Structure 1
Amino acid sequence: MLTLANSLPSRTSVNRDKRSGKSGKARNTGKNKKRRKRTFTEAIARFVIVMMILSSLMGIWLFFTPSGNNIRFLMADTLITTQHRHWAKYIIGQAELDRRVAEYQAQFEEMGTERDTHTIQTPSPSVEEAEKEKPLVEIEEVSGKGYQGYVLTVNDPTKIRLGVPAKRGKGEKVSSMVARTGALAGVNGGGFADPNWKGNGFKPIGVVISQGKMYYNGISSNASTQIVGLDKQGKMIAGKYTIEELIDLGIQEAVTFQPRIIVNGKGQIRSQKEGWGIAPRTAMGQKEDGSILFVVIDGRQLGYSNGASLYDVQQIMLDHGAVIAANLDGGSSTVLVTKGGEIVNKPSSEYGERYLPTAFLVFEHPEQVDIPNIWHGLRPQDIDAGKK
């Protein structure tokens, strides 16, 4: 006869069954973890293999096809215009980098040698014309493939003066120059010594001429330099000149920079391949009627504006009727400012607007503006370009 005690499983067997159930679950869990780990590892391995194949195909395309080589050199040229120029050697090699920089320098020198013969029409307006007179400054937006920017038109070139810093030892933001002097507008000007891209903006490159006077001279007496500026009548002068030649031309406002991109109505850059990469740009030009054009292109900002080549800037100038035009300092220096110091564009510098030695400023009454020579008595060799 079966008793109640015999009909129930013993405590020992129940516990053994429980332990057996737990250990089974543990074994299944362990197997699942191993399976997931193996699946993840296999996925990573497949991803790595696919990336290696794609990288190999990309390398073959970049180095062994015409279109790939064009992209590779465009990337290198773009890096050459930045503070990371040395990175370009990883794309084209150190020897090719050195050769390309030397080639651009020689090309820019050659582009500045043809003598400019353009004339400007600056007739005295009649009363009727005066009533229909254009505003002194006009700003329009421009855009193209991969870039956004602005064109500032100054309809009277004699209203432009070169601004310089107010305090010795450090450059000044263009917005500060505009606000301080009461200018209607301002655009960054010439280049400056910038050791390790940490310069203080106070030591210009080449020459600075303001109000017909030599404010700064960093070249030897017999040397020539590529300048961008205006004479006493408001005619734009750009190209390679000696100091003596500039004096004979009646130079009024000028900075050193290059290259000149339009001369006698002809573009000097033949194609995008010679456009010196993609970057923020500033350039100055003049139309036959005497009006001055400043092209300001933003760059290095994905999703907004990557930047423009010098060829792009040249075409914008030609489309707007420029008969002469030249490049100004670009990159993180590029800035367009209006009355009161308001910045119109989007400068690319991660540290904000840069401190600069020069800017082209527009005034309603430039003859009333006092712009002292902040470099008076200083020798170029005595200026520490990196001292904060």
Structure 2
Amino acid sequence: MQTLSRARSRKLATRKRPWRWVKRLILASALTCTTLALIGIIFLFGTRSGEELREWAAGTLLTTQHDYWAPYTFLPEEKLNALKQQIRNPEVINSEPDETAKPEESPQEQPVVETPPEKPKQLIEVEDIDVSKGNYYFKGKIMYISDPKRVQLVVTNRKDRGDLLDEFVKKTNAIGIVNASGFADPDGYGKGAKAYGVVIHDGKILQGYNPKSGETALGITYDGKLITGSYTAEQLVKMGVRDAMSFRPQLIVNGKNLFKDKPAKSWGIQPRTAIGQKADGTIVFVVIDGRQPGHSIGASMNDLAELLEERGIVTAMAMDGGSSSMMLYNGEAITKTSCPYYRGRYLPNAWAVI
């Protein structure tokens, strides 16, 4: 009887033993997670690097539709308010004086200098962007358009929603195209039917008001000059602007990099779109991919301004970013949108090469 009892005890012990290992594994996992959490808390709230990381996170959140999460980075209130102030009220410089009429200059005879004919430029050239900043990295495209008069703002004619970029291309036969204005986007499900701010199309004012404070206008005149600043729609039309829209911030005005020596954290790291112009008139479209670990995290506004400054851009402004950022060339996407839908988002308008 004793032998039988011992055998039963061994069987019971064998049955219980696996549960002991499971309990030990769960306990070890819990201890590991608790330890890592404590280390993370100490890093985030007890070190300067941790505080900077929280500032980056807050700046990134404040430039999205999920800005209500920014307080949960637990930044001091004065720092969070400073970030908000930098985003809502960026520096604005008018690229053109308020007076549209310029004083006439007395003609002076200039010596005639014969110059060899230049090779004709291609209408569009595309440059790959691949930058590593150590802690983050980003990829994207720059499109150079040699004839600025070919760049136009295309506007949706739908009432229920905006157009996808490839739909704009089909309607206009655009060779190159990028997103432009921001729009109402509650909970990330905005349909892009109505743009924020001023909208001028083919010399006609479609929207002359600015419901979202802090927006800045960017327009292209009939002779292909890029203008940006704090202008009303009426002022822009008087200045000879053919197409215009609103967003922010300005990046470069009259050759001045407005983000030079400024902290990058306020605008965070995001997918970006920008429009600019070189001194020779060349228009540039820029799209930086983001929110895609392993491909591209995104860029700060400082990165974008520096990238353009290095390439001789004298005037530039940011367009809507995030999941709206996208570039098409000859009908095909050449950047990778962070939007879950591979064709991008519905948009109220876009800048196109036609």
* TM-score computed with the length of structure 1 as normaliser: 0.78
The equivalent residue for 2:272 is 281
Say yes or no: does 1:322 pair with 2:316: no
Change (3 A) 1:84 1:67: same
The equivalent residue for 1:135 is 122
Change (3 A) 1:284 1:34: same
For 1:61-140, what aligned pairs fall within 5 Å after superposition?
61-92=43-74, 95=77, 99-100=81-82, 102-108=84-90, 111-113=91-93, 115=95, 129=117, 132-140=119-127
CA contact (8 A) 2:88 2:214 kept: no
Aligned amino acid, residue 211 of structure 1: D
Counterpart selection for 1:331 from 300, 322, 337: 322
Partners of 2:27 and 2:276 in 1: CA distance = 57
Structure 2 residue runs of 5 or longer lacking an equivalent are 98-113
Partners of 1:248 and 1:42 in 2: CA distance = 77
Aligned with 2:230: secondary structure? Answer: strand
Offset at 1:249? Answer: 2.2
Say yes or no: does 1:230 pair with 2:220: yes
User: When you count helix as a share of all residues, which structure comes out higher?
Assistant: 1
Comparing 179-188 with 268-277, which one deviates more in the overlay?
268-277
Aligned amino acid, residue 123 of structure 2: L
The equivalent residue for 2:100 is none
The equivalent residue for 2:107 is none
CA contact (8 A) 2:274 2:319 kept: yes
Offset at 1:279? Answer: 0.9
The equivalent residue for 1:174 is 165
Say yes or no: does 1:34 pair with 2:13: no
Counterpart selection for 2:203 from 212, 215, 234: 212
Aligned amino acid, residue 135 of structure 1: Q
Offset at 1:48? Answer: 1.8
Partners of 2:280 and 2:316 in 1: CA distance = 14
Per-residue CA deviations over 1:26-52 (Å, capped at 9, x if unaligned) read 422322343332233233223322322
% same residue: 36
Structure 1 residue runs of 5 or longer lacking an equivalent are 1-15, 118-125, 364-388
Say yes or no: does 1:198 pair with 2:197: no
The equivalent residue for 2:245 is 255
CA contact (8 A) 1:280 1:308 kept: yes
Aligned with 1:294: secondary structure? Answer: strand
Change (3 A) 1:24 1:310: same
Offset at 1:175? Answer: 1.2
Offset at 1:113? Answer: 3.1
Partners of 2:22 and 2:176 in 1: CA distance = 60
Per-residue CA deviations over 1:101-138 (Å, capped at 9, x if unaligned) read 53123541xx2135458xxxxxxxx99746x1111111
Change (3 A) 1:31 1:310: same
CA contact (8 A) 1:262 1:314 kept: yes
Say yes or no: does 1:300 pair with 2:279: no
Partners of 2:243 and 2:117 in 1: CA distance = 28
Count of residues in correspondence between the two structures: 331
CA contact (8 A) 1:76 1:91 kept: yes
The equivalent residue for 2:300 is 309
Structure whose alpha-carbon radius of gyration is higher: 1
CA contact (8 A) 1:141 1:151 kept: yes
Offset at 1:174? Answer: 1.1
Partners of 1:297 and 1:307 in 2: CA distance = 6
Change (3 A) 1:259 1:185: same
Moved over 6 A (4+): none
Offset at 1:228? Answer: 1.7
Per-residue CA deviations over 1:304-328 (Å, capped at 9, x if unaligned) read 1111111111111011111111100
Partners of 1:272 and 1:141 in 2: CA distance = 26
